[in-house]
Structure 1
Amino acid sequence: MFYQPGKTDHGLDHDPFKFNNLTFDPPYVMFSANQTPSNRRKDTVANVEATGCFAWNLATWGLREAEFTTALQDPQLPMVKASPVKFECVYHTTLRLPGKPPMGSVDVVIGRVVAVHIADYVLTDGVLDVRKTQPIARCGYYQYALIRETFDMVVPSGGGWSEDILGGLEGSSKKNKAIGDRVRETQGDGHS
């Protein structure tokens, strides 16, 4: 995954980091960055905190060499623009987790997604088709995975899994709003 925190006085820091989505309504994402071997915080974290924004760009099979190159300590590298999925994020907070020096401490940076850009060629019937993006993911050590196949598994309702919870698993803000409206109506009538 690529992050572009914004241009700074020393150029554009553009490194691959660990990424995860946190919630969907509104959408929040996070990435983590360990300290450098010289026991310093990564420039990307400082840049995000200073500029108040960053962008996440999907790392794909076609961009694997560029993604690997951005791990080098070269602040003049250009932004990877060929990514088919991009999130514009507004900085929310940094959670600093202490660890053993020099590189054990980590910054967990959280941002709210304010815009999503998806290339038309990776959509099927208006929905992102992950197989078309061929994303890569770091598994650990020096190993990466390429996703070429996906499958759906829908948790059956019942057994404590209501339709409302399933709507949350979908990440549907429309369903979330409907659930909230229904709860407010019920509470407004004096029922719980």
Structure 2
Amino acid sequence: MFYRPEDGHGLPHNPFNAVVSPRPIGWISTRGAAGDNLAPYSFFNAVAYVPPQVMFASTSAKPDRDGTKDSVAQARESGVFCVNIVEYAARDVMNASSGAHPAGTDEFGVAGVAKAECDTIECPRVADAPASLECRVGRIVQLPGDANFTVFGEVTGVHLRDDCIRDGRFDVMAFGPMARLGYMDYTRVENLFSLTRPDV
């Protein structure tokens, strides 16, 4: 099968986001004039080591947020955001926080997620996340298409949960990170193997 996106794929559901998988989930927390917000984004990744930088992208809009969603609007307003890493044990509360609630709704409360304050930025974080990355917005890029925005941020503070540090390493097997597979499908990281690069 081959298709050009502008012509359509002819399938019952769009295959694109299932092809690009698995994708890590950035559980983005923000604070703005309307209050605190928490929402998961599977268009998320790390993009640089030094200084450490990450991105998340939002691809839809709410009528009360001027062409985008709460996370982008509040990151633009405050200049900061926090990425919280999602573990398998938090799958249900993460999903509960993904609803399209009116601006000003605190998804921490809606989903029953414990909240803590960040250290380097004025922003909430998920208190018991395996890791949280405090970020200052570097730039927000509007992409082609309606409501497509990518938010880049420089990491200014890193929280690592103590039980996830083993033998001097952040051990992802300690908590089983979740990833998005497309459609309504997710996966849990359960197998790990190492490869030595040829130039090491």
TM-score (structure 1 length as normaliser): 0.75
Match of 1:26 among 46, 51, 69: 51
Query: 1:135 pairs with 156, 159, 177, which one?
Result: 177
Q: What residue ranges of structure 1 are gaps of 5+ in the alignment? A: 158-162, 164-192
CA separation in 2, counterparts of 1:36 and 1:62?
Answer: 29
Give me the whole-angstrom Cα distance separating, in 2, the residues matched to 1:21 and 1:73: 26
Shift of 1:10: 2.0
2:69 corresponds to: 42
Kindly indicate whether the alpha-carbon contact (under 8 Å) linking 2:128 and 2:161 is maintained by their aligned counterparts in 1: no
Structure 1 Cα separation of the partners of residues 161 and 168 of structure 2: 11
TM normalised by structure 2 equals 0.72
Contact 1:130 1:150 in 2 (8 A): no
The alpha-carbon deviation at position 105 of structure 1 amounts to: 3.5
Match of 2:159 among 100, 106, 117: 117
Q: 1:55 aligns with which of 58, 61, 82?
A: 82
Given the alignment, which residue of 39, 50, 66 partners 1:15? Answer: 39
2:132 alignment partner, one of 77, 86, 99: 86
- The CA deviation at 1:122 is 0.7
Contact 2:56 2:151 in 1 (8 A): yes
Name the CA distance, whole Å, in 2 between partners of 1:89 and 1:154.
Answer: 31
Answer with 1 or 2: which has the greater Rg.
1
For each residue in 1:150-188, what CA deviation from the matched residue of structure 2 results, as whole angstroms up to 9, or x when unmatched?
Answer: 11112112xxxxx5xxxxxxxxxxxxxxxxxxxxxxxxx
1:41-190 aligned at under 5 Å gives the runs 41-74=68-101, 75-78=105-108, 79=115, 80-99=126-145, 104-157=146-199
Contact kept? 1:32, 1:108, Cα under 8 Å: yes
For structure 2, list consecutive stretches of 5 or more residues without a partner in the other structure: 1-25, 109-114, 116-125
Structure 1 vs Structure 2 CA RMSD: 1.6
Identity of aligned residues (%): 27
How far apart, in 2, do the equivalents of 1:35 and 1:98 lie? 12
Cα deviation for residue 37 of structure 1 reads 6.2
Matched positions, count? 153
